[in-house]
Structure 1
């Protein structure tokens, strides 16, 4: 293609002879090795294949400061998002990371040796300033949450040398490097290519938008969805790619192609739009679509948008002389039922009837098995989404019963499983605290740390079973709020979670304790008993609070069943 990569030269670090590869691989065997996080793996792959040209490694301090404060590398090249190799103090000490040191960057999933970095500098970033300048400063922004909670305290700058590509086992034929995609465009004779960024499933409105963009520019369409890290809670990339493949035949013959981008999104709105444009330039696109709230994470907990709807278009327009890629701005598309067409909202005459379905409404319809009209999405797309997002009646869930020993939680758990088995519809699994401890946690004691490990194991098993459609009933003591929150977080990623606080008073639990655990603890003959020498942190986020001194087991089970029925887990 006629257009050059961002920065002028495609930095394809795999473009070298086999002898050099063997030399680097041999050297790597004796060098210290740093295992990379998922984000670091995505970043490294795009450094190595040229997607992040003109970068040849992770940002040095001077480049980091330039990008953070002015959207420019030290040499003046436009770059909007810091690409950092973050490490801990322990890793610095263990691997002796210092300027001049050569470190192997290793895939944490399979121990594959990917590259060697020659350390230029090691520095501590100003995370507060990075959060403010790059992402806007709202502490609820997902990138800022990640920066504060997951990014380590030091950054390592330096150029990298490629050893091998990260292994991918899914959609291998759709994973092109920039050089490969450019060669494909040249083979097809495509000289004008409009790239479309997405991290969501595509529907009729997206198809209409991209076709309009291509026709307005007399160009072809590159659908290039992100299959690295996206916003927490997004639909998995396996489902999304099946949707894109189902949608592709709906384009005019030969207009569009599909290629996957292994990018770790930051949801950085305006800055991310500039970044995406630079990346698509590297992949050979001549035009790039920027729509409403491009790469924005939505609203914070107060309902306030992190970015304005067209902030991204405004920022990109302000740096277009440095981008050297044509931007195609688009507003939201809306459906006109009387004409059976889609049209940009700003072009719809006043008084004309329009129809829209929000992402929230779409998820509700999928969850409840409600109809999704053909004017919104194609039947083949809906079929894929329904396969991966079954209605509530087919979904699994976990009920975590938490309370003191002898509170009645085990009795409730057993009765609940019997009731669920009687109703049928999904397999059920019972994870009683003592039973699971004997099978999974026999080496653990009853310290806070051991109790947290025990609940984490229960949560892992419950998450896997409920993700597969089972009803899981777990009844550990689970006395600590932090570990209960972690269990909810883990299970909720892929399934449904309900916390039931069995709030039977401690005095009643002690008075009816046939095992005598409380008495032994009070006599100093037993330690780690919650309610004696360990505190029970009363849940403030329980979905249901019950008390066996006020309600029978049968009544409590009925209350739990009513909650499940109200949320659609049982058929009509």
Structure 2
């Protein structure tokens, strides 16, 4: 199995990053890579962590699932050490072309900026459900520049930049609090107490899930961390999802902490308590192997009467579960003072938006002539009567004259048309609006991809307009079925190309049995049941 680390560790810069020197960067920009891949948000974040040295000693992308520990893919280095969560780059060779050993694969961001070049060592099947073209590209990375961020730039520090800060360089010990709930006051105070006792400089680590930086709610924990920070403390923002509390996740935190110069990783004792005895030993041993001590914190409690922090009273939790915090915020109720300082609670409340006021998408899918556009238009009319949120109708036929003008009706073009609709719907949802879509959307994998895009930002409801094929053919207002039966329209859904019936539809409506008004009511009832509207 090719190694992305073997024989290359001595070539890293002093701070461990993969950024090449200017002459080599100029050479790579002048050369024509034999293939190009546009990174998605998660891939760009992984490349950033590799390029900056946060994933040292890894120098590139790894094979998928070489080992699996607690559900995480791991990678064994040549010296036998194990990296706790192997970075994998999945690409579509239908877009890149064939990838062979020695292929130079240009890695670009969504705007086309060349961030790095991957020298392909091997490829492995990625097991993608919708395409055999998807492979995991393995090889070493030469980075030209880090992905650009326009937000919180003072907190997005590389390991080299953080280590070079005078307060870090001068500290005998560096402690980092990296917990699933960065807003919990009780844990922050326990971290401060532990750092003071060990004469350590304290870093508060906050994370932002890749791709969520355009979502205002994703910035709330960062603003809350700024509001809670005290003079002399350091904030560090990493492009990662929140910690998941698994043993492998804790190992990854320890590995990244070591690369950032942290000597003591501070975690909630309750988080360690969820691990088995074997996992606890494994996590502590893995941390010790990279020079990090894991310290379990018992959260402190603010006593209003004594005006100080004390051990939590018996029977009262030191912190709140995330779902309870969300419930209080969405109800407009104050967070307890022992959970969050007033300025922190205010930042969290600013970003809270009740589900009934958030954006969502309704996707109607069905055969041509099933009645989906008719029901969708009537549904939009009802929404406009009852809703204060903006409503946008993305009808399949109308979209093809504008957004997807020039696309044909091959499987690839129809797939791309629906994905474009999904992208626009996700943007509308993210902005707090309502998107109503009515394409045929015949393929299950594409519908699921749209659901995934939208659910990053709000609600998604799939409505299957299940009118039988024979009824759709009888209606045939546009004469399309007759042309398809005569062979004049190739790859026509329901005739010469399959319609994959959704197994995950939230609402199923047959317009040969249900009138339009009742169909609209069924969808509205589902929205109310999901809390997406205030309708009773």
TM-score by length of 2: 0.78
Q: Which residue of 2 aligns with 1:281?
A: 258
Unmatched 5+ residue regions in structure 2? Answer: 1-8
* Contact 1:367-1:390 within 8 A present in 2 as well: yes
Q: Which residue of 2 aligns with 1:58?
A: 60
SS in 1 for 2:237: coil
* Contact 2:176-2:262 within 8 A present in 1 as well: yes
1:212 CA displacement: 3.6
SS in 1 for 2:135: coil
Counterpart pick for 1:541 among 504, 508, 514: 504
Distance 2:359 2:479 in 1: 37
* Residues 250-399 of structure 1: pairs in structure 2 closer than 5 A: 251=230, 253-254=231-232, 256-262=233-239, 269-291=246-268, 308=275, 313-319=280-286, 321-330=288-297, 349=314, 352-354=315-317, 357-367=320-330, 369=332, 372-399=335-362
1:28 CA displacement: 4.5
* Contact 1:293-1:311 within 8 A present in 2 as well: no
Q: Which residue of 2 aligns with 1:503?
A: 466
Counterpart pick for 2:195 among 214, 217, 221: 214
Q: Which residue of 1 aligns with 2:418?
A: 455
* Residues 171-182 of structure 1: pairs in structure 2 closer than 5 A: 171-182=152-163
Q: Which residue of 2 aligns with 1:403?
A: 366
1:97 CA displacement: 3.9
Distance 1:279 1:479 in 2: 43
2:138 is the alignment partner of 1:155: yes
* Contact 2:392-2:435 within 8 A present in 1 as well: yes
* Contact 1:467-1:494 within 8 A present in 2 as well: yes
Distance 1:285 1:245 in 2: 20
2:6 is the alignment partner of 1:12: no
* Residues 72-111 of structure 1: pairs in structure 2 closer than 5 A: 73-75=77-79, 79-82=83-86, 97-98=101-102, 103=104, 106-111=107-112
Aligned residues: 517
Q: Which residue of 1 aligns with 2:23?
A: 22
Distance 2:449 2:90 in 1: 24
Deviations, residues 258-312 of structure 1 (Å, cap 9, x unaligned):
1223458996932442342233233222211133586x9xxxxxxxx9x836765
Indicate how the Cα distance of structure 1 residues 488 and 39 shifts in structure 2: closer, same or farther if over 3 A, else same.
Answer: closer
SS in 1 for 2:436: strand
SS in 1 for 2:369: coil
Distance 1:506 1:69 in 2: 45
Distance 1:453 1:60 in 2: 29
* Contact 2:415-2:446 within 8 A present in 1 as well: yes
Indicate how the Cα distance of structure 1 residues 331 and 444 shifts in structure 2: closer, same or farther if over 3 A, else same.
Answer: same
Distance 1:537 1:91 in 2: 25
1:79 CA displacement: 4.6
Out of 547-556 and 461-470, give the one that drifted further: 547-556
1:408 CA displacement: 2.8
Computed over aligned residues only, the root mean square deviation of the Cα atoms, in angstroms, reads 4.6
1:390 CA displacement: 1.4
SS in 2 for 1:193: strand
Distance 1:268 1:225 in 2: 15
* Contact 1:48-1:56 within 8 A present in 2 as well: no
Unmatched 5+ residue regions in structure 1? Answer: 1-5, 128-143, 297-304
Distance 1:446 1:15 in 2: 44
Distance 1:86 1:512 in 2: 44
SS in 2 for 1:152: strand
1:218 CA displacement: 3.6
1:409 CA displacement: 2.4
Out of 382-391 and 497-506, give the one that drifted further: 382-391
Indicate how the Cα distance of structure 1 residues 370 and 486 shifts in structure 2: closer, same or farther if over 3 A, else same.
Answer: farther
SS in 1 for 2:454: helix
TM-score by length of 1: 0.73
Distance 1:419 1:222 in 2: 52
Q: Which residue of 2 aligns with 1:122?
A: 121
* Contact 2:54-2:260 within 8 A present in 1 as well: yes
Q: Which residue of 1 aligns with 2:404?
A: 441
Q: Which residue of 2 aligns with 1:202?
A: 183
1:568 CA displacement: 3.2
